[in-house]
Amino acid sequence: MKVTRKQARVIQNALEGWQREGALDAQQRQRLQSHLSLQHFDWQRLSRYAFWTAIACIIIAVGSLFADEYLMTLLLQLFSFGYLTRTLVMAAIAAGFYLWGFRRQRQQAHWRYSTEAMLFLGVMFTALSLWQLGLWLDNGSGHVAPLFLIGCVIYGTIGYYGRSGLIWLFFLLALGNYFGTETGYASGWGAYWLGMSYPIRFVLFGGVLLAGCYFLRRMLESRNLFPVSKAMGLLYLFIALWILSIFGNYDLDIWQSVRQMELLHWSLLFALAAGVCIWIGLKTDDAMLRGFGLTFLGINLYTRYFELFWNGTNKVIFFLILSISLALIGRYAEKIWHAGEGR
């Protein structure tokens, strides 16, 4: 079995530990080690990073194209069709990438990263098709939420039946955009909808998404979509709580005159949510819940630290305290790491 250097160290430590505990004898350990073959270069990781970089470059290229007036004018001259024709052309290209990607997924499953890159191109051309559809249907009302709803239907259907976590991720992103734009339109693009600012709306949205994820867990796990659904629910929830702990349920014009103590209960709610997430993660041995809880608990503490002590503390002392606290966290993490190695 070919393994990387990091994997080889982990396996070697495990074999040594089992030999010390008597689970393996020296002969069995040598026999198992003989099946390991060191892979000196991690080509799989290079492949993944290369495709991610290629996708990022495509996004930058498309963004640069839209920002360049000359290229946009030239492109419109080359494709001087109506909005409906452009919509259908982009949709056909997207469908081609989806069919190509899923065909490779069935017949050549080992080409994982190139297949995901093809599916991403399908996602991108779907978004371009919806953009052109929006321009065709535009009546000046500013009601763009139905376009995101169409995107939800497309990405959700393809992601679910195609068992694609990548496309399902864009379904969840489109769902969040639909919720935000629909409630924004319903409130006349004001600060509040049913008395709730955007952060509170997305706290509820993230909570409902997370609850729905666990309620439909068996169905999502059968399609390999549960991890990405849970991660997006947690992300919506904690980012909204973080913003809420900074701005509260206030309009931006009012927020600047609000005292920090008036926002304390939102910070406590943020910390409580992170603590509950850590507790459930430890109890159920769920690494994702632990990671989200610890990460956002740290973000909460450092946000409050900057809010309360930035103006009143000498900057040299402030950054020394920050450096010492980070070093202590690193030291504590190192102790846990070495204790795990010892076990």
User: What pLDDT does 343 receive?
Assistant: 47
85: in domain: no
pTM: predicted TM-score of the whole model, two decimal places: 0.69
- Report the C-alpha gap between 52 and 220 in whole angstroms: 25
178: in domain: no
15: in domain: yes
- 8-39: buried (b, 16+ CB within 10 Å) or exposed (e) per residue? beebeeebeeeeeeeebeeeebeeeeeeeeee
136: in domain: no
Q: Comparing C-alpha atoms, which of 149, 169, 148, 241 is closest to residue 202?
A: 241
User: What pLDDT does 108 receive?
Assistant: 64
282: in domain: yes
- In the chain, how many domains are there? 2
169: in domain: no
**Structural domain for 303, as ranges:** 203-312
Per-residue pLDDT of the chain (343 residues; tens, 9 = 90+): 665 666 667 777 777 777 777 767 777 767 766 666 665 555 555 555 565 566 566 666 656 655 556 666 666 665 566 778 878 888 888 888 888 877 776 766 566 666 777 777 888 888 888 888 888 777 777 778 888 898 899 888 888 887 778 888 889 999 998 998 888 888 777 777 777 888 888 899 999 999 999 899 888 888 888 888 999 999 999 999 988 888 777 666 665 666 666 677 888 888 898 888 888 888 888 888 888 888 888 888 778 777 766 666 666 676 677 677 767 767 766 666 555 554 4
224: in domain: yes
**Matching residue, tokens 């169409």:** 150
Contact by Cβ (8 Å): 124, 60: no
